[in-house]
Homo-oligomer: A and B are copies of this chain.
Amino acid sequence: MEVIERRHGAGGRLMEEFLRKYLFPELPDDEEGVGIKDADDSAAIGDTAFTIDGYTVHPYIFPGGDIGKLAISGTINDLLALGAIPQALLIGMIIEEGFPIDDIRRIAKSLGSTARESNVRIKGGDTKVVPKGQVDKIFITSSGIGYRDPRLDENFKQVGRNFKWLLDSNIRPGDKIILTGYIGDHGISLISARGDLNFEIDVKSDVAPLIDVYNAALEVGGIVSIKDPTRGGLAEALNEWSIKSGYGIEISEEAIPIRESVMSACEFLGLDPLELGNEGKFIIAVHKDYAEDVLQAIRKTRNGKYAEIIGEVTDKHKFVVMKTTIGGKRIVDRPTGDPLPRIC
């Protein structure tokens, strides 16, 4: 009997193959707006964008946040990544019988304060409690809707391309790629919280709603596309840009912001930091004439202080290629599986 494997849900190539093979043929045609076949961060009809994401993070409270902050941040960032201003959120919780009330209060506080911080309302929800042993403590699925940012009209004029949303397929040769800060913090902080490291490490998850970074970028303009490199990390996100646009991407390893402690932990665990999920980072493709100004504006925000230009789009090939610190070049593949299950 063929069964679902863990890697089918890992946000990489296998998940996409699985969806194409089993789900798409059964779904109604989807020709208008942004839909399931675009597989972007959010979907859209007319000027309304909407998104859904499930969160199964283990442990549900971790250094730097909890499942509540993660769910709200992830949903807000998915809407922003399409160019939509988040308006309202809905929260579906599935809770195991016996779950501590104090932890629910903490998660509720977190849901509320993270939404408030981004000026987004939580408009409704659903709670299911299932018997002991039928879910591992708490899973949250959140959904959000947003309206198209009116600044996109002027923005795409600056870019000189006739787009409606900040889609993955928008990137073109010459566009610069900004990464808004350190990668890998979220993944490594979770491994550490699970007790899977033999040494002490002082890294917190980067989980955050990125309204400040988004607004700083759009105020300058010239923005081509935005993605949040969550599951599958930078490697997956860059490859999605490349595949959907048909162009290659060249990045420089030296330019990628990564903490020494995260790098050491990755070496110890045999993990590629490019494949680790992030929960408070964007990669932003910017028209080259605006890249430096956008970078400086982002660096003035709380969540974008360590932003860097890490590379650019090219028509010389159709891959993601990284110039390594030792002077070589390597192809950055899509992650096939999930190096760390349940990090989001």
Binding site for B on A (CB under 8 A): 1-10, 15, 18-19, 22-23, 26-30, 32-36, 39, 42-45, 48, 50-54, 56, 58, 87-88, 90-102, 104-105, 108-109, 111-113, 115-116, 120-131, 133-136, 139, 141-143, 145, 341-342
Contact = CB atoms under 8 A, between A and B. Distances in A.
A101 B145 contact: no
Given A35-B121, A50-B145, A27 B112 contact: yes
Across the A-B interface, the 10 shortest Cβ-Cβ residue pairs: A9-B129, A141-B141, A26-B112, A143-B143, A43-B123, A52-B90, A43-B124, A2-B101, A134-B136, A4-B99
Contact of A104 (B4, B105, B127): B4
Given A8-B129, A9-B127, A109-B26, A3 B100 contact: yes
Contact of A123 (B33, B97, B105, B123): B33
B22 A108 contact: yes
Contacts of A3: 97-101
Contact of A10 (B6, B10, B52, B129): B129
A8 B126 CA distance: 12
Given A52-B92, A129-B9, A145-B50, A28 B139 contact: no
A28 B141 contact: no
A2 B86 CA distance: 35
A285 B301 CA distance: 52
A27 B101 contact: no
A131 B126 CA distance: 24
A26 B111 contact: yes
Contacts of A143: 50, 52, 90, 92, 141, 143
Nearest to A93: B54
Given A27-B112, A27-B115, A43-B90, A4 B98 contact: yes
A126 B28 contact: no
Contacts of A58: 134
Contacts of A5: 97, 129
Contacts of A123: 30, 33-36, 43-45, 50
Nearest to A143: B143
A135 B6 CA distance: 13
A54 B9 contact: no
Nearest to A23: B108
Q: Which residue, A2, A3, A30, A98, has most C-beta atoms of chain B within 10 A?
A: A3
Nearest to A127: B9
Given A90-B52, A101-B22, A15 B124 contact: no
Given A87-B45, A143-B52, A97 B4 contact: yes
Q: Which residue, A9, A96, A115, has most C-beta atoms of chain B within 10 A?
A: A9
B26 A128 contact: no
Contacts of A125: 23, 36, 52
Contacts of A6: 97, 129-131
A108 to B, nearest CB: 4
Contacts of A113: 26
A22 B104 contact: yes
A116 B100 CA distance: 41
